[in-house]
Structures are given as C-alpha cells and as structure tokens.
C-alpha cells in the first residue's frame, strides 16, 4: 500500500491505494482501540455493524459506528455527532448497499459537527424546540466507505410545541422502506407532522414507515391515538 498526495489549489487530499489501484474506504478511527463502551453488534448477511459510545467528558457521550466484513474493518466513524449534546448509537439495519443507524440525542445543535449537517433533506430536519427530551436521529450510511447520504430526525411534540421524547424499540428494512417501532411520549406525529391526540399515559406505542431516502413518511400508526 502507498499514499499518494494530490495538490489542488493548496488543498491536500490523501488517497490510500491498494496494489490493485482501488481506493480504500475512508475511516477516522479504529473501533478496536477507540475505547468504545456499551458496544452492540448487529450481524448482517455481508458483515457486522458495531455501535458504541465514547465518553468524551463527564456529561457528554458521542456515538461511534463501524462496519466489518470478513473480520476486517471497512470503515469507522466517530465524527457523526461531536457536538455538546448527548448522543448514542442505538440500533442498526441495512439494505444491500447501505446501513440505517438509529441514534438517540437529547438536544439540537446547528453546527458543522452536529447531526443537522446530515438531515437537511430529511422528513424532520431538526430537533425542534426545547431540549432535554431524547429523540431519534436516523442516518443512511454507505457500506463501502462510511459516507452518510441521508438523514432525518424523529421526534414527538408536546401541546406547547416543544419536542418530546421518542425511543426506538425495533428497526428494520423491509419492503423497500425503513420501519421503526418506538415508544413515544405525548404526542407522536402523523405523516404530515401534526401531533396525534392520544388517550392514557405516555409512552404510546408508535410505528412509522419511511422512504429509503428518509425524506418521506409513508405511514404512521399509534393505536392509542387518533
């Protein structure tokens, strides 16, 4: 293997090439030596997804995600959200070429190291109002190189318009869609992002089906709500 430096207008691009000339997957960490805790492994037909948490300060955790094939790391990313909010990688599923990773986060941050740089075209583009409530961020990541190609927030909403909590229970890729089962606090959202009217105490069982590009809610259901 050798490293080729390409200089274009004073910018330096480092390209790692194998002896076959193929560009290797980009990676900014080594999962095995990262110090990740709360590691979860999800086996796939073509590899294994490893999710973990990095304790970067006393009160702040960042997620780390890696994909392995034949025992070798294809990519590892610890830069998905390095903002001051607490964020963790929770669940994984996949289609043929992409991973779909669900994260939890307890606030919004609009800066170059936050989830929002990946969710600009998503069904929900941001955390919304308030802070402290734990919500879902769903990202679509290319298996070959770890490139994040799509993303969306999934939140619930209080009567005062502030964001409320929603927690992933199950994540699956089926019938050309991403399907999520979740527990949602008052109140889960309909396809048009308006809140359901729910009876009883939170949390409420909630399902949502998203298009593969994460831009559209194809269906939602909350049995205790109307």
As a whole-number percent, the residues of the chain with pLDDT over 70 amount to 88
CA quadruple 130, 216, 142, 207: dihedral positive or negative? positive
> Is residue 160 over pLDDT 60?
yes
Using DSSP bridges, classify how beta strands 60-69 and 72-77 pair: parallel, antiparallel or unpaired. antiparallel
Per-residue model confidence (pLDDT) at position 26: 54
pLDDT digits (tens, 9 = 90+) for 206-215: 999 999 999 9
Q: How many angstroms separate the CA atoms of 163 and 57, rounded?
A: 25
Of residues 10 and 224, more confidence is placed in 224
What is the Cα–Cα distance from 72 to 74, expressed in whole angstroms? 6
Neighbouring residues of 54: CB distance < 8 A, sequence distance ≥ 6: 34, 35, 36, 37, 61, 62, 63, 64, 78
Report yes or no: 51 and 80 within 8 Å, Cβ to Cβ: no
Mean pLDDT computed over 13-36: 60
Per-residue confidence (pLDDT) for residue 98, from 0 to 100: 99
Euclidean distance between the first and the last CA atom of the chain, given in angstroms as a whole number: 60
109 vs 223, higher pLDDT: 223
pLDDT tens track for 90-116: 999 999 999 999 999 999 988 899 999
pLDDT tens track for 164-176: 999 999 999 999 9
Q: Identify the band that residue 223 occupies on the pLDDT scale cut at 50, 70 and 90.
A: very high
pTM of the model: 0.88
- Does residue 24 carry a pLDDT above 90? no
């Amino acid at each position: 293997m050798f490293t080729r430096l390409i200089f274009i207008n004073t910018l330096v691009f480092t390209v790692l090439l194998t002896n076959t000339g193929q560009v290797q997957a980009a990676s900014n960490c080594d999962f095995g030596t990262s110090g990740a805790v709360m590691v979860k492994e999800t086996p796939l037909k073509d590899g294994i997804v490893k999710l973990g948490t990095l304790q970067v300060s006393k009160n702040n955790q960042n997620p780390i995600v890696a994909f392995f094939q034949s025992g070798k790391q294809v990519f590892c990313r610890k830069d998905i959200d390095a903002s001051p909010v607490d964020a963790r990688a929770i669940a994984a599923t996949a289609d043929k070429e992409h991973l779909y990773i669900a994260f939890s986060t307890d606030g919004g941050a609009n800066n170059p190291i936050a989830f929002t740089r990946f969710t600009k075209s998503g069904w929900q583009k941001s955390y919304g109002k308030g802070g402290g409530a734990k919500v879902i961020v769903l990202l679509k990541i290319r298996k070959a190189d770890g490139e994040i190609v799509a993303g969306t927030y999934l939140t619930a909403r209080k009567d005062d318009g502030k964001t409320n909590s929603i927690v992933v229970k199950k994540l699956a890729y089926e019938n050309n869609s991403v399907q999520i089962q979740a527990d949602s606090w008052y109140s889960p959202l309909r396809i048009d992002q308006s809140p359901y009217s729910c009876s009883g105490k939170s949390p409420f069982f909630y399902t949502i089906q998203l298009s593969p590009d994460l831009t559209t809610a194809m269906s939602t259901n909350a049995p205790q709500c109307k």
